[in-house]
Structure 1
Amino acid sequence: MFTFRVLAQCPETGARAGEFETPHGVICTPVFMPVGTQATVKAMAPFELEAIKAQIILSNTYHLYLRPGADIVEEAGGLHRFMDWHHPILTDSGGFQVFSLATLNKVTDEGVICQSHLDGSRHVMNPEWSMDVQQKLGSDIAMCFDQCLHYPCTREEAEAALARTTRWAYRSKEAHHRVDQALFGIVQGSVYEDLRRQSAREITALDFPGYGIGGLSVGEPHHVMYQMLDVLKTEMPFNKPRYLMGVGHPSNLVEGVARGVDMFDCVLPTRNGRTGTVFVSTGKINIKNQIYARDFSPIDPHCDCYVCRHFTKAYLRHLYKAGEILAARLCSWHNLRFLIRLMEQMRESILNGNFPEFRQHFNEVFHGEGDENEN
């Protein structure tokens, strides 16, 4: 039911083009996954996601557990029917909320005692809880429960989180029984090379159908993230998909693909779209700036999205200044298509054998690596 094939690989870098078969369709990699935290990608309807050629989206286990509740989603026929998205879905484990809501959580070897950010109620999050919720949601890909750390962290903290992540991976696998759902393990180890190698070896020994790379894009410099990916490139199985979690800046996508990563996700394109920041071929601009008041050109003349084919910078700026909801929708639409198109271009270059040239041209034209923390 879950088959991954590498169709081509760049010998100079290790960049891969592949196919990952799931119950709801084949995912062509490398792929960017829009984030639909609450069973919706912010500002985008499912048919619009299809129009921009999104292949798979990500939803959030923790948030859907709290609202509307995993039982309700299960009664609705699962997440695909509930949100009317009939293509692949990946659900995270809830482990990232252990990191992002650290002030509300207490972490032990058993799991996490979590205080809801909605109403203050207390909940126990652990591998068994995560597997139960994700199986009720019915995603195509579920993630093991893990512990993600902040940056910087001490070696002792990284060692403890690594040990927990490995133990929790065993417990996640033991608690997971849904045969139409692939369970991915997650590699941790912070920015310590030997710990990254150790985590990769421990997690891949469990023979999951795919592997996430967690604990990056949490504030570390980009060159450090790339260093960790270089370390893992030779430690990860060739015949399994590799998923770099929480990364979505264009430069990071290109450099991640160059290091053998197949899957990415990030809230960046929709978050930026809501504030008027949009990607262009040379970097990014803020459409609300006065300079665009009489600019009757598209956001990016090289982009094939609906927004760039129909609207101008001047119109989009007007929408923002007028407080119109359409502004956030159109800029989110463009940003998502920009990233998805970038992945398509990289895949094509890998298949055609000219990825190094594509990467060089991109790095010459596109300026700016983005924020230090974009999760």
Structure 2
Amino acid sequence: MKFDLIKTDEKSKARAGVIETAHGKIETPIFMPVGTVASVKGVHQRELEEDIKAQIILGNTYHLYLRPGLDVLEQAGGLHKFNGWERPILTDSGGYQVYSLSGTRKIVEEGVTFQSHIDGSRHLFTPEGVMDIQRTIGADIIMAFDECTPYPCEYSYAKNSMEMTHRWLKRCCDRFDETEGKYGYDQTLFPIVQGSTYKDLRKESAEKIASFEREGNAIGGLSVGEPAEEMYEMAEIVCDILPADKPRYLMGVGTPENIIENIALGVDMFDCVMPTRNARNGMVFTSEGIMNMKNKKWEKCFEPLDPNGTSFVDSFYSKAYVRHLFVSKERLAGQIASIHNLAFYLWLVKEARRHILEGDFTSWKDSIVPKLRNRL
């Protein structure tokens, strides 16, 4: 993987760059739609590529390991061949899913034992095993195995967890470096900074992660319930330490406002289920604010879904029609809203990039962030 940092904003720490992978280039800052089980829920790959303009998608190691399973993925020739997406893919390590399975998992130095949410079967994830699994899945960018701590989290637990994550990282790197990709192209390993919302731990973790000198770095353990201001504070601390010549990925974030504010702090890559999950519940994000499509106010509003939108759904369907679909519990409603939201997120980071390159990012940010908060 190669990263070219093209420009940094003069009034903030926002950056524009290009990541080159075996499956193509990624212009940063970038948002990655989440394709948990090898699909972005309710969205065709053609729509992702041609309408939404996604440049990279995310797959989930935990879910893909359980279903369809490694045998199927290997016989298919890896995830790209299996799901037909020939652009870059990133896989997370399964650490967040292990965190979310707190009632059915046990964390020890060796790794994590957990029960499948599908059939209750027991499994063990170790740093070495997770590297092997992600080699088989075949993503361009893979994540180190870590523990994502909850919020709030006591200092002693956060410190012990962070130190174990660092020891696991050494094992991940050793395993990754002694193995090769299975499908004829290179893969890249990103370590993950932890430390909860404690400044000293975040600094220590960022310094430790940077010392491994991998090709990119991730920031984990945020957007797990902490106030937005604490998220921004931790992200700023970490971005000031992580090397400027490598991409920075803030995991699991977030709202449109969160993304813009973190771009201003120096983050390059984002992912979140929010645009599709909230879409299925009727929430539509726009450049003028947020619409609840179940609201009766849209019942006789025959204007386009979003006159400023970039997707075909924005001009093809009216607000009244989309509301009707939601009220009728028609699945098409969630699909339309998902396509719109993803296209909006990709438009938003593209606009951020354009304004970084043009030198007026800060004034643009100050003008658009208040609009993103509006309830329409």
TM-score range, shorter chain: over 0.9
Counterparts of 2:240 and 2:300, CA distance in 1: 51
8 Å CA contact 1:288–1:317 kept in 2: the answer is: yes
Asked whether 1:168 is paired with 2:192, we answer no
**Other-structure match for 1:372:** none
Asked whether 1:36 is paired with 2:35, we answer yes
**Other-structure match for 1:225:** 231
Counterparts of 1:175 and 1:210, CA distance in 2: 17
Counterparts of 1:354 and 1:306, CA distance in 2: 29
Letter matched to residue 12 of structure 2: T
**Other-structure match for 2:134:** 134
Counterparts of 2:77 and 2:110, CA distance in 1: 31
**Other-structure match for 2:284:** 278
Asked whether 1:341 is paired with 2:329, we answer no
**Other-structure match for 2:313:** 307
Q: 1:368, CA displacement in angstroms? A: 6.1
**Other-structure match for 1:194:** 200
Which of 350, 354, 372 matches 2:356? 350
Counterparts of 1:178 and 1:83, CA distance in 2: 22
Letter matched to residue 340 of structure 2: H
**Other-structure match for 2:82:** 82
8 Å CA contact 1:281–1:300 kept in 2: the answer is: no
8 Å CA contact 2:223–2:254 kept in 1: the answer is: no
Q: 1:256, CA displacement in angstroms? A: 0.7
**Other-structure match for 1:17:** 16
**Other-structure match for 1:259:** 265
Asked whether 1:150 is paired with 2:156, we answer no
Q: 1:302, CA displacement in angstroms? A: 1.4
Counterparts of 1:47 and 1:337, CA distance in 2: 13
Letter matched to residue 328 of structure 2: A
Which of 239, 249, 254 matches 2:245? 239
Counterparts of 2:2 and 2:180, CA distance in 1: 16
Of 170-179 and 97-106, more deviation after overlay is shown by: 170-179
8 Å CA contact 1:241–1:262 kept in 2: the answer is: yes
8 Å CA contact 2:306–2:315 kept in 1: the answer is: no
Counterparts of 2:281 and 2:240, CA distance in 1: 39
Asked whether 1:316 is paired with 2:322, we answer yes
SS at 1:279's partner residue? strand
Under a length normalisation based on structure 2, what TM-score does the superposition of the two structures give? 0.96
Q: 1:366, CA displacement in angstroms? A: 2.2
Asked whether 1:363 is paired with 2:363, we answer no
**Other-structure match for 1:325:** 331
Counterparts of 1:332 and 1:150, CA distance in 2: 28
Q: Among the aligned pairs, what percent are the same residue?
A: 50
8 Å CA contact 2:239–2:248 kept in 1: the answer is: no
- The number of equivalent residue pairs is 368
8 Å CA contact 1:22–1:88 kept in 2: the answer is: yes
**Other-structure match for 1:185:** 191
| Per-residue Cα deviation, 1:341-362 (whole angstroms, up to 9, x for no partner) | 0000000000000101111111
Distance verdict in 2 for CA 1:14–1:277, change over 3 Å: same
Counterparts of 2:199 and 2:147, CA distance in 1: 18
Under a length normalisation based on structure 1, what TM-score does the superposition of the two structures give? 0.96
| Per-residue Cα deviation, 1:202-226 (whole angstroms, up to 9, x for no partner) | 1111111111100000000000000
SS at 2:191's partner residue? strand
